[in-house]
Structure 1
Amino acid sequence: MSGTLPAAEGTLVGFFSKRHHGVFTHMGSNTHFHVVLPERPLMGHVDSVTLARGARVLLPAR
Structure 2
Amino acid sequence: MKVELEADRCVASGQCVLAAMDVFDQDDAGIAILLEDRPADELLDDVKEAVAVCPAAAIRLVEQ
TM-score using structure 2 length: 0.24
* Higher radius of gyration, 1 or 2: 1
Structure with bigger RCO (C-alpha 8 Å, 6+ apart): 2
Counting strand residues as a fraction of each chain, which structure ranks higher?
Answer: 1
TM-score using structure 1 length: 0.25
Counting helix residues as a fraction of each chain, which structure ranks higher?
Answer: 2
